[in-house]
């Protein structure tokens, strides 16, 4: 049973565009929703996180939109740059254990 | 560098051998987590410690796997009688008490021939 479903698997966007990555979860007990960025050969790095009592959170060029009733959340990257090319994972957590989505490979064209 | 460190970064072993990995968390973080990541997939939770106590283990952690955190600081993950299916990146993360934010190390890439 996949508890966190992420789409798309891969995404190609022109520089300056706004890639959007979507996730859906099943367990309403989850209370913490982080997004991680991972470059090849590196460990995941926390990008931004949100709790279910907040509908939107923005940090720099990264924005999370959260829809609690639909059990969905998404990541928007404003003014995307080639350096943003990486794999992005949405995740959900309750009590410390993190459940990750399968990831989205993002490629920003120069 | 005060981040999470893991050693070794790469390990190549033959099927049937035992391997051990080490993780040093961020100092003063009392929670330590182990995850496994296969190619093209997200990390999967294996187990976690609060101080020296192992509080939860995933079904993924077969009896060939054992993790310890004897003094509540660094942790080791041992895999006995390795199989080719054990080939993966093994990630360690740590967090402070009361925080959900986990900081990941660079991982140990295991290749079982």
Q: What is the per-residue DSSP string for chain B? A: --S-EEE-SEEEE-TT--EEEEEEPPTT--EEEEEEE-TTS--EEEEEEETTEEEEE-TTS-TTEEEE-TTSS-EEEEESS--GGG-EEEEEEEE-TT----EE---EEEEE-
Stretches where chain B sits below pLDDT 50 are none
* Residue B18, both tokens: 């035992």
| Chain A touched by B40 (CB under 8 Å) | yes
Residue A1's pLDDT is 58
Residue A20's pLDDT is 98
Task: Tell me what the mean pLDDT of segment A27-33 comes to.
Answer: 93
Task: Tell me what the mean pLDDT of segment A76-99 comes to.
Answer: 95
| Chain B touched by A30 (CB under 8 Å) | no
pLDDT-derived band at A95 (thresholds 50, 70, 90) equals confident
Which A residues, 68 through 107, put their C-beta within 8 Å of a C-beta on chain B? 89, 91, 93, 96-103
Do B91 and A44 lie within an 8 Å CB cutoff?
Answer: yes
Residues 6+ apart with CB under 8 A from B59: none
pLDDT-derived band at A59 (thresholds 50, 70, 90) equals very high
Distances (CA, A) of A41 to B9, B19, B97: 10, 20, 29
d(CA B47, CA B56) in angstroms, rounded, equals 5
Whether A8 and A24 have beta carbons less than 8 Å apart is answered as no
Torsional sign, CA B12, B15, B17, B21: positive
d(CA A30, CA A94) in angstroms, rounded, equals 5
Residue B1's pLDDT is 54
| Chain B touched by A3 (CB under 8 Å) | no
| Chain A touched by B4 (CB under 8 Å) | yes
d(CA A60, CA A66) in angstroms, rounded, equals 17
DSSP H or E run through A16: none
Whether B18 and B79 have beta carbons less than 8 Å apart is answered as yes
């Amino acid at each position: 049973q996949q508890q966190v479903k992420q789409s798309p698997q891969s995404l190609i966007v022109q520089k300056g565009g706004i890639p959007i990555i979507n996730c859906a979860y099943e367990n309403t007990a989850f209370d913490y929703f982080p997004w991680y960025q991972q470059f090849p050969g590196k460990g995941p790095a926390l990008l931004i996180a949100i709790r279910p009592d907040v509908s939107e959170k923005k940090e720099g060029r990264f924005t999370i939109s959260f829809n609690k009733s639909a059990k969905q959340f998404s990541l928007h990257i404003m003014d995307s740059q080639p350096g943003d090319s990486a794999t992005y994972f949405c995740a959900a957590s309750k009590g410390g254990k993190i459940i990750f989505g399968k990831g989205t490979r993002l490629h920003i064209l120069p | 560098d005060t981040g999470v460190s893991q050693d070794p970064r790469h390990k190549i072993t033959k099927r049937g051998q035992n391997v051990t990995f080490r993780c040093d968390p961020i100092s003063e973080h009392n929670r330590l987590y182990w995850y496994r990541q296969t190619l093209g997939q997200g990390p999967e939770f294996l187990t976690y410690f609060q101080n020296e106590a192992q509080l939860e283990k995933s079904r993924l952690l077969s009896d060939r796997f054992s993790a310890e955190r004897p003094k509540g600081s660094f942790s080791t993950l041992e895999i006995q009688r390795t199989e080719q299916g054990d080939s993966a990146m093994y990630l360690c993360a740590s967090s402070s008490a009361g925080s959900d934010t986990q900081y990941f190390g660079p991982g140990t890439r295991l290749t079982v021939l």
